[in-house]
Amino acid sequence: MRDFTYGNPTRILFGRGQIEQLAREVPAGARVALLTGAGSIRNNGVYDQVKAALGERLVSEFWNIEPNPDVLTVVRAVTQIRADRVDFLLAVGGGSVVDTAKAAAGLALTEGDAWTILSKGARFTAVLPLGVVLTLPGTGSEANQAAAIGNRATSQKIVFLNPGCFPRFAVLDPLTTYSLPPRQVGNGVVDAFVHVLEQYLTFPVGGALQDRLAEAILATLLEFGPLTLEKPDDYEARANVMWAATLALSGLIGAGVPQDWTTHNLGHELTALFGLDHARSLAAVLPSVLEVRREQKQQKLLQYGARIFGIRDGDETARASAAIARTAAFFEQMGLPTRLSAYGIGEEAIPRVIDQLKAGRRLRMGERLDVTLEHARAMLTRAL
Amino acid sequence: MRDFTYGNPTRILFGRGQIEQLAREVPAGARVALLTGAGSIRNNGVYDQVKAALGERLVSEFWNIEPNPDVLTVVRAVTQIRADRVDFLLAVGGGSVVDTAKAAAGLALTEGDAWTILSKGARFTAVLPLGVVLTLPGTGSEANQAAAIGNRATSQKIVFLNPGCFPRFAVLDPLTTYSLPPRQVGNGVVDAFVHVLEQYLTFPVGGALQDRLAEAILATLLEFGPLTLEKPDDYEARANVMWAATLALSGLIGAGVPQDWTTHNLGHELTALFGLDHARSLAAVLPSVLEVRREQKQQKLLQYGARIFGIRDGDETARASAAIARTAAFFEQMGLPTRLSAYGIGEEAIPRVIDQLKAGRRLRMGERLDVTLEHARAMLTRAL
């Protein structure tokens, strides 16, 4: 096991009707910015619950945060936060809303050009306190310090980490997820699943407990992900998926083990260039990333195959490939195609992705920093 | 899955040489009370490492905290803390040292009789900040809000919880555990294992993820517990046991599921009356607690047996009993007898334990509060 530092200060308020806890969790007298998406929370009752819980507090509403949020949206939020002298941010939605709120929370108290600050490590002067009401499980952003922000003008997408961006609390009420469209459900489950795999499918370092915790989350997503599509109002399925997605990227399973974010690196470029849903970009490239790196990841692939899918027959190469194939089949079962062509992306896209990686100085990726642009080209070609 | 609130603010500093991080983690200029046990940290180099990391800070040393710490020891620590105007506590040792530090951290800032305050819910006025250097994994106290304190004068032992008692940080260096005597190693592994079982062997509530996380910790302790006895300097084994013991009682696996602390309730009385090591008291009664409640716990016992021990043959009763027997065999393998008679405790002890439970108003225990004193008598009789 490698040395590590682990801590996660976000308080989780989980279960039916927990939104009413906002009355206690948001400081009395706070001037609140409520950040949210295009309006689904108006239709499913979440908006009314939030407003009721906030009571007499002043609320500045910021609507229409888009999927894969753009830095211009963040800048608009910052302008409103400053104008309304907001001192507490409440993100109500999924990962895009939470990530926008994290970026705005830091930029509101930091002078300078937004994109420059975010893309150079997000060293904020200070960060406004932030709470979350999660309505779309998947990204794990509700209980970590990371956020992903895009820049449509330059076709870029960056991820930043700042310990000030851990939400103070996250309300997770599985009932709020019942009305999600199947596409968002599938995206969320696959995003969480890939988060686990990128902290798990590397090479052994004696992190036996971390492996088993990762496998616990994978098995849970495999068991309940499909069930949320079949029976959208199955509380047990919704609750297990929601809690699994949070723990998938809370820092717990990645503490003390190598990590490989190659799939996310490639996926972010595909989203920035072609507007692909984040999870769909991952589903399209992960199987090919694993196949191209099958030999380097063989030991963990065999363990994954045996413990998660019961794969024990055939030689090692066949078993490792079978584990990858089962993973792709699961993504397809969740409604996500696992080929770039299914998203209308062809061979001509590959040099553009490579150029973007080069421009972003992503010349070495993976758990050993030995995934080169040539490997990336092979992965994308295989994923066509 | 049940509704829950979960949060754990303790930062974990895990790995080789992490004690030097104290230089950063303990506030510069702090007046530190260093609380510890009988002196083992002088022999294994931990004391020197701690002192070096604390540098020029003023340190008030408090030695000789005993196993199953007594309230009089806590009171002595409080007197010294107040006299030396300490503003930061550093516990260096195992659960007894950490628990003493938690009680002292609260009592130092709270007026009134120590035992009265602790036994009536530990409602402290305020709590001094606390850090931990753990040298004996097992109790999980290094990263939770609980502490157990005894009162030899009245043969009592109580557990209190106070959110102010979460340590700010916990340093976990597996190297510091190499010199532990086998008895303490065995005790620690069994204590952690029982912590998991008491949050797991209840009845199903749809907490599938919690079950799998609990099983991850159990499997890790089963794999590496015996190895720490066979190969005391196996870093991988020590590291996995240490991290597993912390996560076993960090709040994570118990969030959203029923809990059954009957074994701890009985064990605490046995320790208070007869001075039994905490873990040994648990090892002696757990198998009998499970046998007496086998029918009520059958579904979880079958799941436990199948997933952890691969028990799939025989009828349900036989499989449940086999799972209990395998658990007892594991405790014996770790060097802990699983019968009260092995600790010199006979039938005459039973009415005394029952009287103590009655005096402490523990008339109904277990995950459904339907374990009566008659059940307790049957459990203890079976455990003789």
What per-residue confidence (pLDDT) applies to B229? 97
Half-sphere exposure of A69 (CA within 13 A, CB side): 31
Check: complex ipTM more than 0.90: yes
Token look-up 């894969």 returns A68
* Residue A153 per-residue DSSP state: T
Token look-up 């609750």 returns A239
Q: What is the pLDDT of residues A264-309, one digit of tens each?
A: 999 999 999 999 999 999 999 999 999 999 999 999 999 999 999 9
Return d(Cα A118, Cα A114) in angstroms, integer: 6
Q: Which two tokens stand for residue A68?
A: 């894969």
Residue B308 near chain A (CB below 8 Å): no
Q: How confident is the model at residue A235 (pLDDT cuts 50, 70, 90)?
A: very high
User: Among partner residues B6, B207, B212, which is closest to A12 by beta-carbon distance?
Assistant: B6
User: Among partner residues B4, B18, B215, which is closest to A14 by beta-carbon distance?
Assistant: B4
Phi first, then psi: give them for residue A328, nearest 5 degrees. Answer: -60, -40
Return d(Cα A244, Cα B256) in angstroms, integer: 13
The partner residues of B92 in beta bridges, in order of sequence, read B36, B133
Phi first, then psi: give them for residue B159, nearest 5 degrees. Answer: -115, 130
User: Among partner residues B6, B12, B14, which is closest to A14 by beta-carbon distance?
Assistant: B6
Return d(Cα A96, Cα A98) in angstroms, integer: 6
Q: How confident is the model at residue B124 (pLDDT cuts 50, 70, 90)?
A: very high
Return d(Cα A138, Cα A306) in angstroms, integer: 25
- Which residues on chain A are in Cβ contact (under 8 Å) with B5? 11-14
Q: Which two tokens stand for residue B308?
A: 């952890």
What per-residue confidence (pLDDT) applies to B177? 97
Return d(Cα A199, Cα A89) in angstroms, integer: 30
Residue B274 near chain A (CB below 8 Å): no
Return d(Cα B216, Cα B219) in angstroms, integer: 5
Residues 6+ apart with CB under 8 A from B302: B316, B319, B320, B323
Residue B3 near chain A (CB below 8 Å): yes
- Which residues on chain B are in Cβ contact (under 8 Å) with A7? 9-12
- Which residues on chain B are in Cβ contact (under 8 Å) with A244? 209
Pairing of strands B58-62, B31-36: parallel
Q: Which two tokens stand for residue A274?
A: 């072609």
Burial B118-153 (b: 16+ CB within 10 A, else e): bbeebebeebbbbbbbbbbbbbbbbbbbbbbbbbee
Which domains does chain A possess?
11-176 (3.40.50.1970), 182-382 (1.20.1090.10)
- Which residues on chain B are in Cβ contact (under 8 Å) with A308? none
Return d(Cα A118, Cα A148) in angstroms, integer: 10
Token look-up 């992306």 returns A345
What per-residue confidence (pLDDT) applies to B298? 98
What per-residue confidence (pLDDT) applies to B236? 98
Q: How far is CA A236 from each of CA A19, A218, A231, A249, B304, rounded to the nearest angstrom?
A: 19, 16, 10, 21, 20
pTM: 0.98
- Percent above pLDDT 70 for chain A: 100
User: Among partner residues B2, B16, B212, which is closest to A220 by beta-carbon distance?
Assistant: B212
The partner residues of B158 in beta bridges, in order of sequence, read B149
Phi first, then psi: give them for residue B171, nearest 5 degrees. Answer: -90, 120
Instruction: Write down the mean pLDDT value for chain A.
Output: 97
A12 with B7: Cβ contact below 8 A? yes
Return d(Cα A384, Cα A131) in angstroms, integer: 40
The partner residues of B130 in beta bridges, in order of sequence, read B89
What per-residue confidence (pLDDT) applies to B206? 98
Q: Nearest CA to CA, how far is A163 from chain B (Å)?
A: 12
What per-residue confidence (pLDDT) applies to A317? 97
What per-residue confidence (pLDDT) applies to B72? 98
Instruction: Write down the mean pLDDT value for chain B.
Output: 97
For chain B, the straight-line distance linking the first and the last C-alpha, in angstroms and rounded, comes to 37
The partner residues of A33 in beta bridges, in order of sequence, read A60, A89
Contact B281, B229 (CB under 8 A): no
In this structure, the number of other CB atoms found within 10 A of the CB of residue A332 comes to 16
Give the three-class secondary structure for B62.
strand
Q: What is the pLDDT of residues B241-261, one digit of tens each?
A: 999 999 999 999 999 999 999
Q: What is the pLDDT of residues B355-376, one digit of tens each?
A: 999 998 899 999 999 999 999 9
Half-sphere exposure of B211 (CA within 13 A, CB side): 22
What per-residue confidence (pLDDT) applies to B57? 98
Residues 6+ apart with CB under 8 A from B322: B305, B309, B311, B314
Q: Which two tokens stand for residue B380?
A: 């203890």
Residue A243 near chain B (CB below 8 Å): yes
Give the three-class secondary structure for B47.
helix
Q: What is the pLDDT of residues B58-67, one digit of tens each?
A: 999 999 999 9
Please state the rounded mean pLDDT for residues B29-41.
96
The partner residues of B35 in beta bridges, in order of sequence, read B62, B91
- Which residues on chain B are in Cβ contact (under 8 Å) with A14? 1, 3-6, 255-256
Q: What is the pLDDT of residues B268-288, one digit of tens each?
A: 999 999 999 999 999 999 999
What per-residue confidence (pLDDT) applies to A267? 97
Q: How far is CA B342 from each of CA A283, B191, B336, rounded to the nearest angstrom?
A: 58, 18, 9
Residue B63 near chain A (CB below 8 Å): no
What per-residue confidence (pLDDT) applies to B171? 98
For chain A, the straight-line distance linking the first and the last C-alpha, in angstroms and rounded, comes to 37
CB pairs under 8 A between A and B: 120
Residues 6+ apart with CB under 8 A from B268: B148, B157, B158, B159, B278, B281
What per-residue confidence (pLDDT) applies to B116? 98
Residue A18 near chain B (CB below 8 Å): yes
The strands making up A31-36's β-sheet, listed across from edge to edge, are: A58-62, A31-36, A88-93, A130-134, A169-172, A4-14, B4-14, B169-172, B130-134, B88-93, B31-36, B58-62
Which run of H or of E encompasses B31? strand B31-36
